[in-house]
Amino acid sequence: MSGQVTRFPIPAVIAVVIRDQQALLVRRANPPDAGLWGFPGGKIGYGETVSAAALRELREETAIEATAAEILTSLDIFDHDPDGTLRHHYVLIAVRCTYMSGEPSAGDDALEARWLPIADLDPEILPMSADVAKIAHLALDRLDRT
């Protein structure tokens, strides 16, 4: 077994904030998904809860304050090298967050941060990370039920 590399999925969060039929999105500055629009998020720190990680990433990337409401879903994201070799396997946990205060301001690894109408989230028009529109609609549906 010596010399064998053991790799594990990397746990991460995305903060899903919906307000007035709009989703708070950031345009990512770094790989994976550099240049694409997606929810604020990142890796969960050792000893950090899922909710705390979502709120921290939200603050760092957008300057928005919120409370964590519920876990919506999870996604497996596979990042491959150009030759097809698996580079990273992320498990993204989508946390629906309730907006409290602030105006979007890009920070940390975000190029832009803004509210975008959920009705306009079309991957054919707006370059987005995986399942952004689907998760935004799921969050809106859950919000409408509360």
Token readout for 43 is: 């890796």
List, in order, residues 6 or more apart from 6 with CB less than 8 Å away: none
Q: Is 116 helix (H, G, I), strand (E, B) or coil?
A: strand
Residue 112 annotated among the catalytic residues of the structure: yes
Partners of 38 in the β-ladder? 26
Q: Choose the catalytic residue: 48, 57, 112, 124.
A: 112
Partners of 26 in the β-ladder? 38, 113
Alpha-carbon distance of 111 to 29, in angstroms, equals 5
**Residues with a known catalytic role:** 112
